[in-house]
Structure 1
Amino acid sequence: MSTDSTGFEAAASRLRIVLVGTQHPGNIGAAARAMKTMGLLRLVLVAPEKTPDDRDAMAMAAGADDLIAAAPVFATLAEAVADCRLVLGCTARNRRVQLEQLSPREAAAQAVAVAGSDEVALVFGRERTGLDNDELQLCHAAVHIPSDPAFSSLNLAAAVQVLSYELRTTALAAARSPGTPPVTATPAREGAASHAELEGFFGQLADTLDAIDFHKGRAPESAMRKLRRLYLRAGLDSAEVRLLRGVLADAQRMAMLAGRAEPGPD
């Protein structure tokens, strides 16, 4: 086995393709085929509308049915990416959820760099509506395929093929030149916080801001979106998340004590 192949397989072992709410089973099969042609073998399904062993899915897989048979099925995206260090959402441009926008090549560079030591997920949404805003909030960045604006509708399997190709070419290039990751890549940090750890922190942060009346009656969504982006850019490790959660726990305790000390009605 060549060094290139060995290096690619090492990266591919930590790369997963996640399909959310797939409506047509045939698209699961076609996506599995697209993955396998590029040497990606980890397919994950989130709440598909029909069972993945559907006849149409197997027919469209055309030899990649082993990926479908091995694919875990989760109820929510948060569960599917809980152990990931990097989550990239493949979507059309969305101005309501302000995520960093990456091209497929930039996304592949980041994904392959992080997959050197940590789990990475590339997430694809529903055929008609894509990922919803709550699901996009679980992603660290958005990946946009620059299709022709005059005919921008891209089939799910075609989108998976584009990203799978970029992942393969980037990983093979990295295997040929070890120690020189692409300049657009974000290097993995030792002890980096997992997705589940970060989501636990964000949940506690939201509860704490409510407890101290930070929003003063304003809708909390905008502030939380900005705070999520701020902390995701920081690249927190597990120890830092524990420290911040300790601060939040004390803030919640003080808010509770202050509430108890407030004078009652006359």
Structure 2
Amino acid sequence: MSMGDRQGLPLPQRTYSLHIVLVGASHPGNLGAICRSMLNYGFASLRLVNPVCSPDDIEARNRAKHAGRILDSCQVYDSLEDATSDCSLTVGTSGKREIGTKTTFRHFMYPWEFAERLEDFTESVSLVFGEEGKGLSTDDLGLCDFLVTLPTWEGYPIANLSHAVNTCVYELHRTTVHSKQGSDPGIPDIVPLERSLNPTLKSILQQGIMEMGQALPGNDDRKHSFSHNLRRGIMRSMPTEDEATRLIGGILDATTALQYVAGNSEWRSKRRRKITRNEEE
């Protein structure tokens, strides 16, 4: 399925509505990249406050790729107050590390804590980002209920605008994946959140490893050492049930081949996978 064909999938369902608000956006490339990050993680509401660049800029469109629909539907406002008037929570962002009396003005939390706070929130939220190279003004910061900051290196704390947006929406989406994977068609389900084997499958895997070790040439110590190390190596990787099933099939094939080469009749009487007459010859 191509990317264009996947656009019909629903966005992830969340208890809250998120609006990304950009104040004074001036670089069309960043604007397009932000749209792409937003749609990558299932967010589609963008609001622009006094933008310096246009949503129709060709660079913005090129950088947005398949997220051009966000540029099509974005709303433009004259003030941050207007852009957030329908939101129950207004969260600003800043990378500045103030000291002294200014510290209390910036009530920070990290993106993952912000994401956790929103898990059960049921209203509209605006996440506000300032202009590239300037950030939010003191007045705009004063309109925010609290601020989120990235845990960047103290020696160079200010991140690119599109990178900052990407980090925040990623953390929000990560929390959604943890809570809704398997129950929301808009959430990827290809990677299991928990890696475990049921006892029956684990027993079959261990038996296969033991039989493979016994089929090896050499003394009992070598066979036991091989089986022990292979079992520990596989289990240390915490395979999924699908991975374990595939490993079992390969181990059984290898065991059958070792028994056949060694002239061990068990390859014929106890093999679990069919071998053609040509293979027997």
TM-score range, shorter chain: 0.5 to 0.7
Question: Given that residues 7 and 172 in structure 1 are in contact (C-alpha distance below 8 angstroms), is that contact kept between their aligned partners in structure 2?
Answer: no
Indicate the residue corresponding to 1:32 in structure 2.
35
The counterpart of 1:111, out of the listed 105, 112, 118, is 118
**Counterpart in 2 of 1:156?**
161
Q: Secondary structure at the match of 2:35?
A: helix
Conserved? CA contact 2:111–2:168, under 8 Å: yes
Mapped to 1, the partners of 2:165 and 2:119 lie a distance apart of 16
Aligned positions of 1:143-182 closer than 5 A: 143-175=148-180
Task: Note if 1:101 corresponds to 2:101.
Answer: no
The worse-fitting range, judged by mean Cα deviation, of 29-38 and 169-178 is 169-178
TM-score by length of 1: 0.60
On the 8 A contact 1:11/1:171 being kept in 2, the answer is no
Alignment correspondent of 2:64: 61
1:10 is the counterpart of 2:10: no
Give matches, 1:218-233, under 5 Å: none
Give CA-to-partner distance per residue, 1:200-243, whole Å, 9 cap, x none.
xxxxxxxxxxxxxxxxxxxxxxxxxxxxxxxxxxxxxxxxxxxx
Runs of 4+ in 1 over 4 A off after TM superposition: none
* Aligned-residue identity in percent: 33
Q: What's the CA shift for 1:94?
A: 5.5
User: Structure 1 residues 79 and 151 mapped into 2: Cα distance closer, same or farther (>3 Å)?
Assistant: same
Deviation of 1:175 after TM superposition, in Å, equals 3.4
Aligned residue type for 1:140: D
- Specify the code of the residue in structure 1 equivalent to 2:128: V
| d(CA) in 2 for partners of 1:174, 1:40 | 17
- Residues 62 and 176 (structure 1), Cα distance of their counterparts in 2 relative to 1, 3 Å cut: closer
> What TM-score, normalized by structure 2, do the two folds share?
0.57
Deviation for aligned residue 1:109: 1.7
1:152 CA displacement = 2.4
Aligned length in residues: 171
CA deviations on 1:163-214 (whole Å, 9 max, x unpaired) are 0110001123333699xxxxxxxxxxxxxxxxxxxxxxxxxxxxxxxxxxxx
CA distance in 1, matches of 2:68, 2:11: 25
Structure 2 residues not aligned, in runs of 5+:
1-8, 184-281
Contact preservation (8 Å) 2:91, 2:146: yes
RMSD: 2.3
Which one scores higher on RCO, CA 8 angstroms, separation ≥ 6?
Answer: 1
How far off is 1:46 after superposition?
0.9
Q: Deviation digits for residues 118-162 of structure 1, max 9, x if unmatched?
A: 101111110010000100111111111011122323111111110
Query: Secondary structure of the residue that 1:113 maps to in structure 2?
Result: coil
Q: Which amino acid aligns with 1:118?
A: E
Larger radius of gyration: 2
How far off is 1:42 after superposition?
Answer: 1.0
- Cα distance change, pair 7–49 in 1 and its aligned pair in 2 (3 A): closer
